Amino acid sequence: MENTNTPTERKGNIEDLVAWQKAKELAVTAYKLANSINLDALIKDKLIYAALEVSYAVARSYGVKQRVKSLENLYEAREYVFEFKTAMAIGVDLGAISHEQSAEIQPLVDHTDKLVSGLIQYKEDANKGKSRPKNNYRRDNDGGHNHGNSNTPPDNFGNTIDYASSPVSNF
């Protein structure tokens, strides 16, 4: 008998995937940043390469049929997010990227990371046969009486994932 707890993947366009949209936005932002700063070519190239690879890996995860390969691509995307963060930090430490420029880009980097982490969590849950939560994990602290307190549990990376508004609707 087939496991009915595993969500059915919806077929669609990669352009509909929010994680891919944000990763692409990060790549464009990285290009603009790299062209506006005076920094060693190696670090500029790493900023651009890492940001591009985030979007490419998310796209690859969407394009494969096997969940295991999809997960591998998503973990790779997350690795490139960290490489991008590292190149940014080095650029700031060298004084080539201002703290203001870094602070302006950081929300986009964090949002992209959260979206990729959400996809990873979703795929891992699907691999374990868990179904997608329907009530955003409503919890209470008063012995079972919910008074509108809604908490989203952390994923494997310490991020909180709101499945209702996350990019997983396409997966």
**What are the CA-CA distances from residue 140 to residues 130, 137, 145 (Å)?**
22, 10, 6
Q: What gap in Å lies between CA 89 and CA 107, rounded to an integer?
A: 14
Give the mean model confidence (pLDDT) for residues 1-17: 58
- pLDDT tens, position by position, 117-163: 999 999 888 877 765 555 444 444 444 444 444 455 555 555 555 54
How high is the pLDDT of residue 164?
46
Partnered with residue 6 across adjacent β-strands are none
- pLDDT tens, position by position, 24-37: 999 999 999 999 99
Q: Which long-range contacts (CB under 8 A, 24 or more apart) does 6-10 make?
A: 6/126, 6/129, 6/131, 7/122, 7/126, 7/131, 7/132, 7/171, 9/170, 9/171, 10/169, 10/170, 10/171
> In order of start, what are the domains of the chain with their CATH numbers?
14-170 (1.20.1440.60)
